[in-house]
Structure 1
Amino acid sequence: MRRLVMWDIDYTLLRGGGVAARAWKAAFTEVTGVAWQDTPIFGGRTDLDICAEVFSAHGVTDCTPERFFTRYVEKIHEIKHEFAEQGSLMPGVKEVLTRLGDDPAVVQTLVTGNVPEVAAVKVAAFGLDGSFDAEVGGYGTDDSVRATLVRRSLERARAKYGEEFRPVVVGDTVNDVTAALANGAVAVGVATGTTAAAELIAAGAHTVLPDLADADNAIRALKA
């Protein structure tokens, strides 16, 4: 049985340098006419979930997530060059992705809280877009609950390839770990975000890595 390795993006593969947050705030004000007041916690959450919180916190009742996301994606494309300028790749990412990509027993995709268009811009900014089968990913417009994104990705992979997969989720937050476990997936935590390794272990991660710099160790964990 092949492995479907589902990668989180932010603080797992790369740091975006705050570019997406700036685009989010600008798009929100443009679309709603309401001045930005309160920044929610973004880590490990879906864009649908964050959008609902932001609308509620700002008293917005006359705007839909779809309308907001349209402008948000436009803003991202306007400033997409800033990701490479202000962001950075996490250690070891390119080597791990390349080595897994050379393995016919592995399919790599993205399971991320980002909307699909923003996910694509982020990974392309660092030359990673060729590493993933984005068609079978799970994205922040699929559902507000992170675990559903993992399930949707599995469903898409089964439908496209006509086979069952051993799912592996890689992420830096407790939400990534719990979403993996809810779907019977192997949960590999990387302590490259704001969540400590001990918290990832306590959440039930099967393996927790400090980062991906030791490619041999990372690949062993992903293929365990």
Structure 2
Amino acid sequence: MLVVFFDIDGTLLSTGGAGGTAMRLAFRNQFGVAEPANVPFSGRTDRAIGASFFAAHGIEDCEEHWQRFREAYLCELERQLPRHEGSVLPGIPELIAELASDTDVAVGLLTGNMEHGAWRKLEYYGLRDRFAFGGFGDVHHHREEVAEVAMDTARQHLGRSIERAVVIGDTPLDVACARAVGADVIAVATGIHDWEELEASRPDLLLEDLSDWKRVCDFLRS
């Protein structure tokens, strides 16, 4: 069985900034911070982003504070999604439809998004029914840990061994987490990282986007 794990933001879709706006507003409203620090988001787990906000503002990183932030973010995400102009990225509908037609291929998620937020983004952009399992960023600070969870979840969901895994993502951290679990990786320059940055992370295949989805399928079946 071939399992293809997709990142969400910058790979499957763009929310037009809805997620980042929701994060900052949720933190501001819950913890009374007028101007939340400009912490890095790209490729990181939501749990790690939360920890960075807490550290930047001298707030204890505890379960109570994380859950407050998490719930506020999910509520704010609902408000922000329709206020931003996002889209499914090029080639995604065709690629996923092609993979779904192959009984020897399964698709899953490997994302830093917290699980409920991940499913909500996919639902909003019409991709929810294409995915049934994955690894998410609610608990772990590092994408490598999320990748391990994604692999375990895939095995449990499919009830069979994984002969090959491929991660598709738009950041060097996607490449690194794929390597940590022995997966091949396709990097796409559809996020904030340019070609040179992604090339330096040494993916197996590097593309400007996924519009040439037939080439992606050829790589996956090679």
Query: Which stretches of structure 1, 4 residues or more, deviate above 4 A after TM superposition?
Result: none
Q: Distance in 1 between matches of 2:90 and 2:157?
A: 31
1:9–1:40 distance in 2 versus 1, CA, 3 Å? same
1:151 to 124, 132, 148: 148
Letter in 2 for 1:157: A
Q: CA deviation at 1:162?
A: 2.1
Q: Cα distance, 1:200 vs. partner?
A: 2.1
1:132 corresponds to 2:131: yes
2:32 corresponds to which residue? Answer: 33
Counterpart contact for 1:28–1:36, Cα < 8 Å? no
Distance 1:101 1:160 in 2: 16
Contact preservation (8 Å) 2:15, 2:81:
no
- Unaligned segments of structure 1, at least 5 residues: none
Q: What letter is aligned with 1:24?
A: M
| Correspondence for 2:197 | 199
What corresponds to 2:66 in structure 1? Answer: 65
CA distance in 2, matches of 1:146, 1:181: 11
Q: CA deviation at 1:4?
A: 1.1
Aligned residues: 219
Q: CA deviation at 1:118?
A: 1.0
CA distance in 2, matches of 1:160, 1:79: 32
User: What do the CA deviations read for 1:142-189 (whole angstroms, capped 9, x no partner)?
Assistant: 311001111101101112222111211000000000100011001111
Give the 3 Å change call, closer, same or farther, for CA 108–142 of structure 1 in structure 2.
farther
Identity %: 35
Shift, 1:19, TM fit: 0.9
Give the corresponding residue for 1:183. Answer: 181
TM-score (norm 1): 0.92
Cα RMSD for the two superposed structures: 1.5
Q: CA deviation at 1:67?
A: 1.9
Q: Name the CA shift for 1:197/1:223 in 2 (closer, same or farther; >3 Å).
A: farther
Change (3 A) 1:142 1:91: same
2:28·2:36 contact (CA, 8 Å) conserved in 1?
no
Does residue 118 of structure 2 align to residue 112 of structure 1? no
Give the letter for the 1:155 counterpart.
Answer: D
- Cα distance in 1 for partners of 2:150, 2:18 equals 26
CA contact (8 A) 2:170 2:187 kept: yes
Counterpart Cα distance in 2 of 1:112 and 1:168: 14
Given the alignment of the two structures, is residue 161 of structure 1 paired with residue 162 of structure 2, yes or no?
no
**Structure 2 unaligned spans of 5+:** none
CA distance in 1, matches of 2:37, 2:175: 27
Deviates more, 1:192-201 or 1:151-160: 192-201
Contact kept, 8 Å, 1:201 with 1:207, in 2: the verdict is: no
**Residues 22-76 of structure 1: per-residue CA shift (max 9 Å, x gap):** 1111111221122223221211010111111111111212752122101111121
Counterpart-to-counterpart distance in 2, 1:181 and 1:162: 23
